[in-house]
Amino acid sequence: MEALLTERETILAAFWMTIRLTAVSALGSLVLGTLLTAMRVAPLASLRAAASTYVSVARNTPLTLVLLFTGLGVGANLGVELSDDIATNNFWLACIGLTAYTSAFVCEALRSGLNTVPVGQAEAARSLGLGFVRTLRLITLPQAFRAVVAPLGSILIALTKNTTIALVVGVSEASVRMREMIETYGDQVIEIFLGFAAGFVLLCLPMGLLFGWLSRRLAVAR
């Protein structure tokens, strides 16, 4: 226990990094995922093809490879520099990788949500003279969102756990700290593991409860 207590400051800092990675990537994936969903159902075949190719590539590539590619490809070879500070730069690169990966899953969830909206909703919107964008924005997407609150919650929880892989682009979050601590305090391996595991349980459990409650509250009664 004493290792966890002595190092509580650095552990909290590591988890704070985990939380920041999660928050930024969650926001990014929500925006990009919604955009991808709109593209996948758009009247233009080229938009549909681009979005569905993107989704199947991102979904079927290991996140480790996506993040390595972000670090080596986008960072080193494309020369994208988001900050002069290496740690900040790595943070943003990790967010890009996590967003690129997670938004594919957001898109899948949201599209299945669109399937639950009765055809009549869109038809009524069209008969009022709404075009594609406004039909989607005002009528079908809001209902789709309310239908997929629970799956979005699972995606957010998965994202929280996935931020541990950001260590491959050099972000020092919870998993890095745990490895260092196991090496330093070899005699307290089990306590250290349970401590870090508890951190993630504390992060993920309330999220699951919140999204479960939200999904019941926001469910569209039909």
Partner 1 sequence: MSYANLYEAPGPRGVRRNRLLAGAVLLVLLAVAAVVYVRFDAKDQWAAEKWLPLLRADVWGTFILPGLAGTLGAAVAGVLLAGLFGLVFAVARMSEHRWIRVPAAAVVEFFRSVPLLLLIFFAFFGSYMVIGVNISAFAAVVFGLTLYNGSVIAEIVRAGVQSLPKGQREAAYAVGMRKSQVMRLVLLPQGVRAMLPALVSQFIVLLKDSALGLIVGYDELVDRGLNGIAANFSNVIPAAILIAAIFIAINTSLDRLAHRLGAA
Contacts with partner 1 by CB under 8 A lie at 40-41, 43-47, 50, 56-57, 59-65, 68-69, 72-73, 76-79, 114-115, 119, 122-123, 126, 131-132, 135-136, 140, 157, 161-162, 164-165, 167-168, 174-175, 178-179, 182-183, 186-187, 189-190, 192-193, 196-197, 200-201, 204-205
The answer to whether the Cα torsion of 126, 131, 134, 135 is positive or negative is positive
Minimal distance in Å, beta carbon 1 to partner 1? Answer: 15
Minimal distance in Å, beta carbon 81 to partner 1? Answer: 12
Minimal distance in Å, beta carbon 170 to partner 1? Answer: 12
Host H or E run for residue 175? helix 174-184
Cα separations (Å) of 176 from 14, 105, 183? 8, 26, 11
CA dist., res. 65 & res. 46, Å (int): 27
Closer CB to partner 1, 8 or 134, in the complex: 134
Minimal distance in Å, beta carbon 119 to partner 1? Answer: 5
How many other CB atoms sit within 10 Å of the CB of residue 66?
A: 23
CA dist., res. 206 & res. 218, Å (int): 18
DSSP letter at 170 equals T
Contacts of 216 (CB under 8 A, 6+ apart): none
Minimal distance in Å, beta carbon 103 to partner 1? Answer: 16
Closer CB to partner 1, 24 or 174, in the complex: 174
Closer CB to partner 1, 204 or 220, in the complex: 204
